[in-house]
Chains A and B, each alone.
Chain A
Amino acid sequence: MQLLVGEIENGIFLGAFFVLIALGYSMVYGILRLINFAHGDFYMMAAYVSFAIFGAVGISHLHSKWPVVLVVGLITMIATGALAVLAERLIYRPMRRAALLSLMIAALGLSQVLENGVLNIPAWGSQYRTYPVTSSAAGTSILGTQFTYAQIAMVIISGLLAVGVYYLVGRTLIGKAMRAVAEDRVAASLMGVNVDLVISLVFFVGGALAGAAAVMDSLYYGQINYLMGFTVGLQAFTAAVLGGIGNIAGAVVGGLLLGIVESIGTGIFGAEWSVVVAFGVLVVMLWVRPNGLLGERVARRM
């Protein structure tokens, strides 16, 4: 029992990252019906951007310099958001009238370009790079399981970001415009909504969230690699499908649930099975309930 509680807790920690990345997947899907396979690579790019900034600033320890780390995190979020906006502007927007399959292939192409771009930068390359910032092991026990303060802060930050997105999309005028564009682009433009701008904003938010996840993930695991976006992308996509893609609450529920399932699954089968567990969940979900847990017809979009 204690073991299970611990695995659920670890699952929530893991799931918090999935939530952040799944939100980007889901929002972009909601507004363009596009499964943006490059989204995981935005996350990877964010890890390298923050890697470069931390290297330049010369910070090596999280606890003594956490305000600086927070600022670098914010800068990385903005940079990753900007990258996502640029990708939309340069690649997806000119293809907006094209078949969805073409867009998806373009997304896969962009993913390759980003990965190979990083691969070809000598300072980054193909090896695992050690993230310049480490965090101390100090922490506390929650319900019998040990967590570092850094981990606890990360879950809180993820939660705040998710709540922020929920508020943005659910309550603000621009969020209502996002949902309107998702449902009926032409009608939204007839309300005076600048559709292109709204789509850009969705990409920005999605990219920024992936940026936040990447910085926290890298701080926690301590290593980055040019292929790190692939696995996480698959996991986040699974989380989005699990909750009902295109739906904010679905991304949150799906992310946390996938984290817990993976945590329990790897507890049973071993850590090397984590991707298999994610992929298994994806296949089963697509099979038994393709609309996801919260994917009702009405609430389907965003």
Chain B
Amino acid sequence: MSLLEVENISVFYGAVRGVSDISFSVEEGEIIALLGANGAGKSTVLKAISGIVRLRSGSIRLGGQPLPAGRPHRRVSQGLVQVPEGRHIFASLTVSENLELGGYIHAKSARARRERQTEVLALFPNLQDKLNQLAGRLSGGEQQALAIARAMMARPRVLMVDEPSLGLDPQKIDVVYDLLADIARSGTTVVLVEQNVALALELASRAYVLQQGTVVLSGEARALEKDERVAAAYLGGAPAAAAVG
């Protein structure tokens, strides 16, 4: 049994199709990537898993149990935690307040939250000195790190990260991807959404390629890196380019 099973889901925004008939599954402890161009439906899939948008049809199961139709905050306490596209840190709150909110589902115990913060900050030493700064004052890379750290505060069973490389220069992207690798190594299951296909295929073990709201290709990351169709559409031509990325 897979940890997360997405089965034939369709989502509409009014009359506009977000995704249709998408299926994929995620094993415990693995990193999978959802890839595709802008508008392919990647974010919609994550929103559906988080309960921000309703399913028109299909179902999502976590640990074999169907997710009840419910509001997003319920999904977080079930362990489905998302770092949304564009980070959405709380700019007018301090770094430390952002982290605290990340641990909101452990609302019962301030001590539990503090302990978790220590654990999380061990992965994000750069944030340690900036705890009392307003999050809006951080650089783009730091904000992305904060957004991930904040999500980790909730002890996710599945961490979903939507385009973490967006708007960052290559150096900062490396930092963020190293963080994600660390997180995965520590046992957290990761669903990574990217337009930057080369980058994502390096980190993920498996990937699904979306186009116009449906899955058009899927498989092992290593195989996809060499796949001509992927190379042609996303890696700028020759398959060899993937190895450079």
Knowing A173-B104, A192-B77 are in contact, say whether A298-B92 is a contact too (CB < 8 A).
yes
> In the complex, which residues of chain B have a beta carbon less than 8 angstroms from the beta carbon of A192?
73, 76-77, 104-105, 154
Using a Cβ–Cβ cut-off of 8 Å, how many residues does chain B contribute to the interface with A?
A: 28
Knowing A184-B90, A190-B82, A192-B105 are in contact, say whether A298-B134 is a contact too (CB < 8 A).
yes
Contact of B136 among A177, A189, A298 (CB under 8 A): A298
Interface of A (DSSP majority class): helix
A188 interfacial contact with B, CB 8 Å: yes
Interface residues of B in 33-75 (CB under 8 A from A): 50, 52, 71-73
| Residue of A173, A184, A186, A196 with most chain B CB atoms under a 10 A cut-off | A173
Closest to A188 in B: B101
> 1/0 contact trace for B89-110 toward A, CB 8 Å?
1111100010011101101001
A143 interfacial contact with B, CB 8 Å: no
> In the complex, which residues of chain A have a beta carbon less than 8 angstroms from the beta carbon of B102?
191
Knowing A191-B101, A191-B102 are in contact, say whether A179-B92 is a contact too (CB < 8 A).
yes
When the two chains form their complex, are residues A193 and B92 in contact, meaning their CB atoms are under 8 A apart?
Answer: no
B211 to nearest A CB, angstroms? Answer: 26
A194 interfacial contact with B, CB 8 Å: yes
When the two chains form their complex, are residues B72 and A190 in contact, meaning their CB atoms are under 8 A apart?
Answer: yes
Closest to B134 in A: A298
A180 interfacial contact with B, CB 8 Å: yes
> 1/0 contact trace for B107-124 toward A, CB 8 Å?
100100000000000000
When the two chains form their complex, are residues B97 and A187 in contact, meaning their CB atoms are under 8 A apart?
Answer: no
A197 to nearest B CB, angstroms? Answer: 9
> 1/0 contact trace for A166-195 toward B, CB 8 Å?
000000010011011001101111111111
| Residue of A184, A191, A193 with most chain B CB atoms under a 10 A cut-off | A191
When the two chains form their complex, are residues A191 and B52 in contact, meaning their CB atoms are under 8 A apart?
Answer: no
A113 interfacial contact with B, CB 8 Å: no
In the docked arrangement, what's the CA distance between A195 and B52, Å?
A: 12
When the two chains form their complex, are residues B84 and A191 in contact, meaning their CB atoms are under 8 A apart?
Answer: no
> How many residue-residue contacts, CB under 8 A, span A and B?
76
Closest to A302 in B: B92
B88 interfacial contact with A, CB 8 Å: yes
B4 interfacial contact with A, CB 8 Å: no
> In the complex, which residues of chain A have a beta carbon less than 8 angstroms from the beta carbon of B52?
186, 189-190
When the two chains form their complex, are residues A179 and B93 in contact, meaning their CB atoms are under 8 A apart?
Answer: yes
When the two chains form their complex, are residues B150 and A191 in contact, meaning their CB atoms are under 8 A apart?
Answer: yes
When the two chains form their complex, are residues B73 and A194 in contact, meaning their CB atoms are under 8 A apart?
Answer: yes
> In the complex, which residues of chain B have a beta carbon less than 8 angstroms from the beta carbon of A301?
92
> In the complex, which residues of chain A have a beta carbon less than 8 angstroms from the beta carbon of B82?
190
Closest to B50 in A: A190
In the docked arrangement, what's the CA distance between A301 and B90, Å?
A: 11
A300 interfacial contact with B, CB 8 Å: yes
> In the complex, which residues of chain B have a beta carbon less than 8 angstroms from the beta carbon of A180?
90, 93, 101
Interface residues of A in 27-51 (CB under 8 A from B): none
Knowing A176-B97, A177-B104, A298-B136 are in contact, say whether A189-B88 is a contact too (CB < 8 A).
no
> In the complex, which residues of chain B have a beta carbon less than 8 angstroms from the beta carbon of A188?
90, 101
A residues in contact (CB < 8 Å) with B: 173, 176-177, 179-180, 183-184, 186-196, 298-301
Additional A-B contacts beyond A189-B71, A190-B72 (4; CB < 8 A): A176-B101, A184-B88, A187-B84, A191-B150
What 10 A-B pairs have minimum CB-CB distances, sorted nearest first? Answer: A192-B76, A187-B88, A192-B105, A189-B72, A192-B104, A191-B101, A194-B73, A191-B104, A192-B73, A180-B90
A-B contact pairs, 24 of them (CB 8 A): A173-B104, A177-B101, A179-B90, A179-B97, A180-B93, A180-B101, A183-B92, A186-B72, A187-B84, A187-B89, A187-B90, A188-B90, A188-B101, A189-B73, A190-B50, A190-B52, A190-B84, A191-B101, A191-B104, A192-B76, A194-B71, A196-B71, A298-B92, A301-B92
